[in-house]
Amino acid sequence: MEGLTILCNRNPQQKKPHSSFPTIVMAKVLALTLILALVLAGCAKELAQDLGLARSEEPGGIPYEVKITGAPDEEMEELLLLVSALAGDDPPALVTSGLVRRRAEEDIPNLLKALHSRGYYKAEMQVEVSEGKPPLDVNYAVLPGPRFTLAQVRILVDAEPEYRAGLPSPQELGMEIGQGFRSEWVPEAQKRIRQALASQGYPFAEATYEAVADFASNSMHITFTAQPGPFARFGETDIAMPEGLDLSPEYVRSKLPWKPGEAFDAQALAQARNNLLGTGLFSYAQLTYPEQVGEDEELPLRLELRERPPRTVRAGVTYSTDLGPGVELGWEHRNLLGEGENLSVGLEANFVNRILESTYREPFFLFREDQSLILTARAADEQPEAYRSQSIDLTGVVERYIFRRTRIAGGLGFTLLNVDDDPISDQNNYALFYLPLLIARDTRDNILDPGGGSLLSADGAPYYEVFGENNFFFKYTTNAQFYWSLMDEKRLILATRARFGQIPGQELSTVPANIRFYAGGGGSVRGYEYKTLSTLVDGDPVGGRSLLETSAELRWRFLDNWGLVTFLDGGRAYTDVVPDWGETYFWGTGLGVRYYTDFGPIRADLAFPLNRREEFDSHFQFYISIGQSF
């Protein structure tokens, strides 16, 4: 390549001196030969070391140390050491210094390729191997030269398709104009172009590229050429049902987010698989299609399924310093009546809360594939610092998906409450009707361990209290969670969360204590006790009519099954409907460990309060449970 030279140091070959022998009597010849043999034997080892031919007396090979000098940054230095075959030879297997020197020189082309992959196309390199006794010093001296920057990205289509698909921008390809060039951008961009076309009706799209390095301006110019291939529409789907499965094929079809005749969308295939596996009825779901499109532009599909046992019994344990040890038990039947009906029963018990809940979900409600009926019964005995309550709650909700990942829900609920130890209200008994409402958009790639996407939701309900004079109020909550992958294979995830809510319509004392807003605890602001972050009256938290919570968590998965996190949580419940920004906003921070399993990560978090209240807050809180914090 132009501007690229490889410089190596090599020891010149030495020539052995010739010996001559005078013609003398045989006795003298034998004597001189014996003397010469002894001299050569005594010098052989030293001469072989001078020539780099001496075998190591160390077991396995000559020890040596590989160093990189002159690398432009620490990342590049680590990459060069990773690429070097010599550096990866542990324990050393080379038995002469000459072989070490030759292997070091053979490393140079691969090391230069590594420099090129980071945009250093004018890089040069020299290698030096020390002489003398081991361990030898092997030093690769890097002359990186200027780093080539990305100057231009173009995306062309080699033939005008009948239905022109939208193509991603350079930013959507993950390529940043003006930044130092990285070769891994190119295959990733090709993949994204194929994915973009495959989601717009072109399942067999390809993408080629041409890269031009301008050595005058030290810049890279990349041109991608998209080859859409034939346009395709979804055809009929042949469903291979498992033998003996008592399940309607129409229920399975309801999980396919397309109809025959719609433009092919590869993302819809992935969503269908997630929908089917998400029912819990199948352990395997695979969609396949032929390698060419028919004359009618339709692409038939075949769906292969493997049944999973429809019943599940689960048990788990939890622990936190504020709630104490706890148990979680559950039973679920995912095909109760042969149409995908789901019935679940769960029990949660610890030193503070004891909750029994049962949920029944019926799909195809009122003959709509995108609609379900959800019936819930809940009995709870709660004893946090703020109050003591016993409640029975019944709800019936109709849920409908209005878009592929967006759902709405609405229904009717009734609750009976008995509340004690409320520091600002003398009323103990409540009977309330309410209308629960929900809208949510969920693009997370995994519910228990998200590595990308987001969850946006808003839920609320108007409440009407049968007893008492002040009998109407409204409560709503908005929630936003975002997840960004900062490293390949989702090894480093940044997770953020914000939550805001209000209860307009009544004074705080007229709202039942267990319906008010509270902050603090493992699912809220870690480092503080459960439901304690609000105004205190006689040392007891009273909750609030508004709530604000924020969280940021960095999750690093450094082994297949282990990970570390660091987090910062903030939050508070405010007495008034509009938060009083002059009041203390409570922050907590800490570290955590994650152990990843097939059913989700097991988390252990140690958190510290940054706004600790003397004689009320502990110095730290500890949490163990299943699933990420959010």
CB atoms within 10 A of CB 313: 8
Condensed to tens digits (0 to 9), the pLDDT of residues 206-253 reads 999 999 999 999 999 999 999 999 999 999 999 998 887 888 888 898
Residue 296, SS3 per DSSP: coil
Q: Which fold is adopted by the domain 1-146?
A: Ubiquitin-like (UB roll) (3.10.20)
- The confidence score (pLDDT) of residue 42 equals 42
386, 540 contact by CB (below 8 A): yes
Tokens of 553: 């968590």
Condensed to tens digits (0 to 9), the pLDDT of residues 499-528 reads 999 999 889 999 999 999 999 999 999 999
CA atoms of 23 and 112, how far apart (whole Å): 59
- Residues forming CATH 2.40.160.50 domain(s) in the chain: 311-626
Domain covering 149-227 in this structure, CATH number? 3.10.20.310
Q: Tokens 């020890």 — which residue? A: 63
Assigned architecture for domain 233-307: Roll (3.10)
- Residues forming CATH 3.10.20.310 domain(s) in the chain: 1-146, 149-227, 233-307
Q: Are strands 298-307 and 233-240 parallel, antiparallel or unpaired?
A: parallel
- The confidence score (pLDDT) of residue 86 equals 86
Residues 609-617: what's their mean pLDDT? 94
Condensed to tens digits (0 to 9), the pLDDT of residues 9-48 reads 333 333 333 444 433 434 443 444 444 443 433 443 443 3
Find out if CATH 1.20.1260.10 is the number for domain 311-626: no
Condensed to tens digits (0 to 9), the pLDDT of residues 523-569 reads 999 999 999 999 999 889 999 999 999 999 999 998 889 999 999 99
- The confidence score (pLDDT) of residue 443 equals 93
List, as one string, the DSSP characters of 75-128: HHHHHHHHH-TTTT-SS----SHHHHHHHHHHHHHHHHHHHHHTT-TT-EEEEE
pTM of the model: 0.68
CA atoms of 189 and 203, how far apart (whole Å): 17
User: Is it the case that residue 270 has pLDDT exceeding 80?
Assistant: yes
Residues 362-376: what's their mean pLDDT? 92
pLDDT > 70 in the chain, percent:
88
**pLDDT class for 8, splitting at 50, 70, 90?**
very low
**pLDDT class for 436, splitting at 50, 70, 90?**
very high
Residue 420, SS3 per DSSP: strand
Q: Which residues, other chains included, contact 567 with Cβ-Cβ below 8 Å and sequence gap of 6+?
A: 526, 551, 552, 553, 554, 589, 590, 591, 592, 605, 607, 629
Burial environment of residue 336 by CB neighbours within 10 A (0 to 12, 13 to 18, 19 or more)? middle
pLDDT > 90 in the chain, percent:
67
- Output Rg (C-alpha) for the chain, integer angstroms: 35
